[in-house]
Structure 1
């Protein structure tokens, strides 16, 4: 009887150790939409808790007022690379919560480039300035059902404008804010 109990305890110990070795997925694809835009993304596994997110999207802007002279709507392409550290996967597994589709809390460094390409129309005297931003971000990602996701994040970082001579703002700031709430579909 004692060898049987010892084998049972060892078996459960091995399963417990294996369960604590939660991991991000090898690769996951999806699309997301938020208040101002639509994005397609891929997350590729770099380690058990780190994934590299690559993203192509269209960010939208609604504008109007004296500066531009008319109201309008434009979309601007965005290219993003973002290493994400999912720091609570083991805790989620221990609490019997989902980690599939990289569901968990994360810290990341979101690096986004906006080229000076505009889909829509601006007045002749108004230009869109290409930029790159690097924003440390905290966020959460959760799955609903088999394919649907939601994600939210917040961060403050740095933005660099490539054509500084085109900026007409008196108080230029090099701070960038990443505040997002997105709904998505995972393939």
Structure 2
């Protein structure tokens, strides 16, 4: 799993040293996005011509169910994310006459997320949410429709760690896990 993280860091190092990029990512863009599981507010700030730092705060959603006790439910919990993104095909898109506005392009990123145990919105009683921290190398695409609307998809596999509750609740299980990022979102850029 760590080899994927090293590979992503390698690609970012190449992007930082490459000066051939003439098309650049936007200086700063602000937007909102939603998908199957959540609602997010984000900002992408330019670090180099091809790298943007995405910061995001939102609510991740989860669903569960059990036929054994007929318990079904949902939850919403806060998530904080920092994600450096390398948009690696901006010049190719310009050469083909395609848009690059609002960072429309393919990207490789290292998505770092933290789910704090601040609050949980749920339809079930006595939910013990255990916070977690994840680092997931991700490949994705971002495209814009018109001037303001966008869609985005991404996939990645990385590392996750559960954080035990400070109130004395003990977690029984593996604290280190394989984390998956599979998202499909639509949004609006201001």
Asked if these proteins are the same fold (TM beyond 0.5), I'd say yes
Structure number with larger C-alpha Rg: 1
Q: Is the 8 A contact 1:129 1:162 kept in 2?
A: yes
For 1:100 and 1:149, the matched residues in 2 are separated by 11
Structure 2 residue runs without a partner (length 5+): 1-20
For 1:79 and 1:186, the matched residues in 2 are separated by 19
Aligned residue-pair number: 166
C-alpha offsets along residues 131-185 of structure 1, whole Å, 9 cap, x if unaligned? 000000000000011101000000000001111874445x776100000000011
Query: Shift of residue 118 of structure 1?
Result: 0.8
For 1:66 and 1:167, the matched residues in 2 are separated by 24
Q: Is the 8 A contact 1:68 1:123 kept in 2?
A: no
Q: Which structure 1 residue ranges, 4+ long, deviate > 6 Å from structure 2?
A: 66-69
Q: Is the 8 A contact 1:137 1:156 kept in 2?
A: yes
For 1:62 and 1:156, the matched residues in 2 are separated by 21
Structure 1 residue runs without a partner (length 5+): 1-19
TM-score (normalised: structure 1): 0.82
For 1:160 and 1:68, the matched residues in 2 are separated by 29
Q: Is the 8 A contact 2:151 2:185 kept in 1?
A: yes
For 1:101 and 1:47, the matched residues in 2 are separated by 15
User: Which residues in structure 2 correspond to 1:65-104 (within 5 Å)?
Assistant: 65=66, 70-104=71-105
For 1:33 and 1:162, the matched residues in 2 are separated by 26
Q: 1:123 aligns with which of 122, 125, 132?
A: 125
2:136 counterpart of 1:135? yes
Equivalent residue, structure 1, for 2:41: 40
> Using a 3 Å threshold, how does the CA distance of structure 1 residues 68 and 151 change in structure 2: closer, same or farther?
farther
TM-score (normalised: structure 2): 0.81
Query: Shift of residue 68 of structure 1?
Result: 7.9
